[in-house]
A and B are shown apart, each in its own frame.
Chain A
Amino acid sequence: ETGVTQSPTHLIKTRGQQVTLRCSSQSGHNTVSWYQQALGQGPQFIFQYYREEENGRGNFPPRFSGLQFPNYSSELNVNALELDDSALYLCASSLYGDEDYGYTFGSGTRLTVV
């Protein structure tokens, strides 16, 4: 059973640029969630994807968008990067509809905006 893998592990971007982060879900999972974790803070929910559609969103602006593919992998896209977007971005996969499931997190992508 493979876990959740994220790429890249580290990334440096310039303010105003766009970035795409990738996530492969755990085998057997069909739902992907994305979280942003600023330094010293707990992870904050960005959104969740199921059946290739967004079905839950946290308090993040529209410049944060995502995709889910038929193989359940996912991308997080952030446009017009701001310095405050510097954070660890975490992907978590799960099995939708199973009320007794846990979420498996990846190791994250560390994004630095300069």
Chain B
Amino acid sequence: DAKTTQPTSMDCAEGRAANLPCNHSTISGNEYVYWYRQIHSQGPQYIIHGLKNNETNEMASLIITEDRKSSTLILPHATLRDTAVYYCIVRHAGGTSYGKLTFGQGTILTVHP
């Protein structure tokens, strides 16, 4: 299974951009990178995903390096409600693990006033 490595915790000031890094050096060519967040033991909430191109949606941007060994999730204007655990996940692409999401420990992002 392709593993991901994230910092345990990060802080960000409200209104500033939050940049959350993730390493996934063993990712395979057909595996996607997904980002989810989880607030206080609720179900994980989908943020964004990508294969090799940078992606942007209404919540965030995802920057994937050219070698695909790392990525960065960017929350452009963090708010207090963005305080959560952020998971960088590699989605398995085939075999008996098709579709399996392998969660790591995640990054605890704290947005402060």
Contact = CB atoms under 8 A, between A and B. Distances in A.
Interface stretch (A12-20, A68-76, A96-104): A96-104
A45 B101 contact: yes
B42 A107 contact: yes
Interface stretch (B44-52, B61-69, B74-82): B44-52
A99 B50 CA distance: 11
Contacts of B46: 102-105
B43 A102 contact: no
Contacts of B102: 45
B39 to A, nearest CB: 11
B4 to A, nearest CB: 10
Interface residues of A, number: 28
A96 B41 contact: no
Nearest to B97: A56
B49 A102 contact: yes
Nearest to A55: B98
A45 B98 CA distance: 11
Contacts of B36: 105
Interface in A81-114: 88, 90, 92, 94, 96, 99, 102-108, 110
B100 A45 contact: yes
Which of B44, B45, B49, B97 has the most C-beta atoms of chain A within 10 angstroms of its own C-beta? B44
B96 A41 contact: no
Given A41-B105, A42-B87, A42-B106, A105 B45 contact: yes
A46 B2 CA distance: 17
Given A102-B34, A105-B43, A48 B103 contact: no
A99 B16 CA distance: 33
B6 to A, nearest CB: 10
B99 interface: yes
B104 interface: yes
Contacts of A88: 41
A87 to B, nearest CB: 11
Contacts of B45: 105
A107 B44 CA distance: 8
7 contacts: A33-B100, A48-B99, A56-B99, A102-B49, A105-B36, A105-B43, A107-B42
